[in-house]
Structure 1
Amino acid sequence: MLGINGTEMVILVVVALVVIGPKRLPEYAQKLRDFVRQMRRMAEGAKDSVQRDFGDDFKDVDWQKLDPRQYDPRRIVREALVEEDTAIRESKRRERSSNEFAPTSGDGGEADSSADASAAAKMREQSPIERFQAQAELRDRSTGAPFDPEAT
């Protein structure tokens, strides 16, 4: 309820007793009750008005999906990067498949160049996150992280 825990509620009640006083407290409690009831009636009226104005289109709307508190910016960025990487991989695959039919020049060093090309292609097919994780696994953990005194 409004982010107030039990201890804070007790403190608010004690402060209200001191500030308002025990004689006027029932009157203010009744006013608060009437205000809450009026707000509820207004909210229900607005909800009924929206349903009446927009018809049956909004009857089955899942309002939880539209709640901005559920969105995690990190997840959104991660998904966007994965989608972008997928599109890049698909374009590279199409490019490679079209290049397979193109004539190649025979210079004699095709075995080395094909191995280098396949390793480079494998690195290109990985997403940036996968590349970072692979580089982190290859780093020697016995030494500390690199330090640049001029950068600080």
Structure 2
Amino acid sequence: MFGINGYELIVLAILAVAVLGPERLPEYASQLARLVRELRRMATGAREQLREEVGPEIDEVDWRKLDPRQYDPRRIIKEALLDDIEEAVRPAPRQGTSGHPVRTPAAAGPAAAAVATGAAAAVQTSPPPVQRIERLAAGETAPFDVEAT
């Protein structure tokens, strides 16, 4: 409980007998027992008071899950970032020109599926549009915006 193993407890008991003496040891042992009983009574009272104030939901709380030693900031940040990515990457339902969702090719039949697959392959193989990059002529200075700096 306090990080004391059996050998340390024996050494502490021997030291207590040597320091206190056999005459005063029973008195201090009874005081220690009273202190332990009082601490247990206080803990039980606090638990009962909390249960009365919070209600029956307190029994349903998983206290191990709320243990701060389990929190790893790296894991928390990673999960938070991955949640955003999963929402952004999730494909939106396809809609036709009427605004209604398009039927999947498999539901329309094998012939429609073959046509849709060929059309999708044709769309996927088209090259992306090329953006034209304007370059400065030799010796021309780059534009400078005074307000941007």
TM category (shorter chain) comes to 0.5 to 0.7
Bigger helix fraction: 1
Mapping of 1:8-87 within 5 angstroms? 8-69=8-69, 71-73=70-72, 76-81=73-78, 83-84=80-81, 87=84
Partners of 2:83 and 2:127 in 1: how far apart? 25
Mapping of 1:51-130 within 5 angstroms? 51-69=51-69, 71-73=70-72, 76-81=73-78, 83-84=80-81, 87-88=84-85, 91=88, 104-105=129-130
Residue identity in the other structure for 1:84: L
Identity %, equivalent residues: 40
Q: Which residue is 1:150 aligned to?
A: none
Larger relative contact order (C-alpha < 8 A, sep ≥ 6)?
1
1:57-109 CA deviation, whole Å, 9 max, x = no partner?
Answer: 2122122222223x152xx4045236525645875788xxxxx79961399xx
Matched residue count: 99
1:116-149 CA deviation, whole Å, 9 max, x = no partner?
Answer: xxxxxxxxxxxxxxxxxxxxxxxxxxxxxxxxxx
Seen in structure 2, the aligned counterparts of structure 1 residues 40 and 72 have a Cα distance that, compared at 3 Å, is same
Seen in structure 2, the aligned counterparts of structure 1 residues 8 and 92 have a Cα distance that, compared at 3 Å, is same
Q: Secondary structure at the match of 2:11?
A: helix
Partners of 1:66 and 1:90 in 2: how far apart? 26
Q: Which residue is 1:3 aligned to?
A: 3
Cα distance, 1:19 vs. partner? 1.2
TM-score, normalization by structure 1:
0.53
Q: CA RMSD in A?
A: 3.3
Following TM superposition, where does structure 1 have runs of at least 4 consecutive aligned residues deviating by more than 6 angstroms? none
TM-score, normalization by structure 2:
0.54
Q: Secondary structure at the match of 2:65?
A: coil
Partners of 2:131 and 2:67 in 1: how far apart? 61
Deviates more, 1:11-20 or 1:82-91: 82-91
Structure 2: gaps (5+ residues): 92-123, 133-149
